[in-house]
């Protein structure tokens, strides 16, 4: 699955991957555990009902990029304790994915993770998937000075920290809105969408945007897509 007439992969020497719901299938709903812990945190932090906590969580996530950022800006949240608590989850739904690891390893150049999560969370996910050895770095929410995607500052700090030329980089994301800034910077963009067979607990807006002009390619099979990219003459797809 791929959008027509998108930018190709010729000359790409940096491959940038979102973490959650991109490097592992959406239908595992691993992030639902984090969602639930965020909701519980809001209940305790703001002394509100679970229904109100859910409303605030989704409102802040949509408006600020992360619920945490909304809580910081509107309620003075101290982020370190929040990040520690909400990422205490069960990673057992994740299993090794050697096909994905091989596809990433075969790509030329650097492979980096750009996530709104923490480094510890990224390490746990990579280790469970068995792909840590194939990735060259992680840029997490702390490295971004707590400025989450899709804020332009997050991408600017990432590009600077890792000396990435956006004209020679491709980025893989599960949220179309997180591809708008990278595309404007010159990156080739790939939207990773849910596979058809699984139950996906996402809001409608999170699943939208596959036809947006800033989305160059769309796939529901990341490992297969990467194999095709690596094998394509001139890396067109």
Model confidence pLDDT, tens digit, residues 180-214: 999 999 999 999 997 754 445 556 666 667 889 99
Number of domains in the chain: 2
111 and 224 together in one domain: yes
Q: Return the bridge partners of 186, or none.
A: none
Task: State the Cα–Cα distance between residues 32 and 28, nearest whole angstrom.
Answer: 9
Judged against a pLDDT cut of 50, whether residue 3 lies above it is answered with: no
| Residue 176, pLDDT score | 94
* pLDDT given at position 197: 45
Answer yes or no: is 203 within a domain: yes
On whether both 144 and 81 belong to a single domain, the answer is no
Domain with 110, as residue range(s), is: 14-27+96-235
The pLDDT score that the predictor gives to residue 207 is 65
pLDDT at 30: 84
Residues 127, 171, single domain; the answer is yes
Encode pLDDT of 31-65 as tens digits: 889 999 999 999 999 999 999 999 999 999 999 98
3 in any annotated domain: no
∠ CA 206-212-214 to the nearest 5 degrees?
A: 105
The model's pTM is 0.90
Residue 21 inside a domain? The answer is yes
Domain CATH code at residue 73: 1.10.150.450
Q: Say what the pLDDT of residue 198 is.
A: 47
Judging by beta carbons within 10 Å of its beta carbon (0-12, 13-18, 19+), is residue 98 exposed, middle or buried? exposed
Same domain, 126 and 154: yes
Across residues 82-87, what is the average pLDDT?
A: 94
Mean pLDDT of 120-135: 97
Assess whether 77 and 131 both reside in one domain: no
Pairwise CA distance, residues 8 & 188, whole Å: 7
In a domain? residue 133: yes
| Residues 120 and 230 grouped into a single domain | yes
Selected residue with higher pLDDT from 3 and 63 = 63
Mark whether 191 and 125 lie in a shared domain.
yes
Q: How many Cα atoms within 13 Å fall on the side-chain side of residue 172?
A: 27
Task: Please indicate, yes or no, whether residues 230 and 115 belong to a single structural domain of this protein.
Answer: yes
In a shared domain, residues 79 and 100: no
């Amino acid at each position: 699955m791929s959008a027509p007439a998108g930018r190709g992969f010729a000359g790409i020497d940096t491959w940038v991957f979102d973490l959650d719901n991109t490097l592992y299938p959406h239908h595992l709903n691993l992030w639902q555990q984090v969602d639930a812990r965020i909701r519980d945190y809001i209940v305790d932090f703001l002394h509100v009902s679970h229904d109100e906590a859910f409303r605030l969580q989704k409102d802040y996530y949509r408006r600020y990029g992360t619920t945490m950022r909304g809580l910081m800006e509107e309620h003075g949240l101290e982020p370190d304790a929040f990040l520690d608590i909400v990422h205490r989850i069960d990673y057992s739904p994740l299993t090794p994915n050697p096909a994905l690891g091989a596809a990433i390893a075969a790509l030329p150049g650097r492979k980096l993770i750009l996530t709104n999560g923490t480094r510890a969370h990224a390490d746990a996910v990579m280790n469970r998937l068995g792909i840590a050895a194939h990735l060259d770095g992680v840029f997490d929410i702390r490295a971004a000075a707590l400025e989450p995607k899709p804020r332009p500052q997050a991408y600017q700090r990432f590009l600077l920290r890792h000396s990435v030329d956006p004209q020679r980089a491709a980025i893989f994301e599960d949220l179309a809105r997180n591809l708008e800034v990278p595309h404007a910077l010159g990156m080739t963009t790939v939207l990773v969408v849910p596979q058809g067979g699984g139950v996906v607990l996402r809001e409608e807006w999170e699943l939208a945007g596959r036809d947006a002009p800033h989305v160059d390619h769309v796939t529901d099979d990341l490992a297969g897509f990467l194999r095709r990219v690596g094998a394509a003459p001139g890396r067109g797809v």
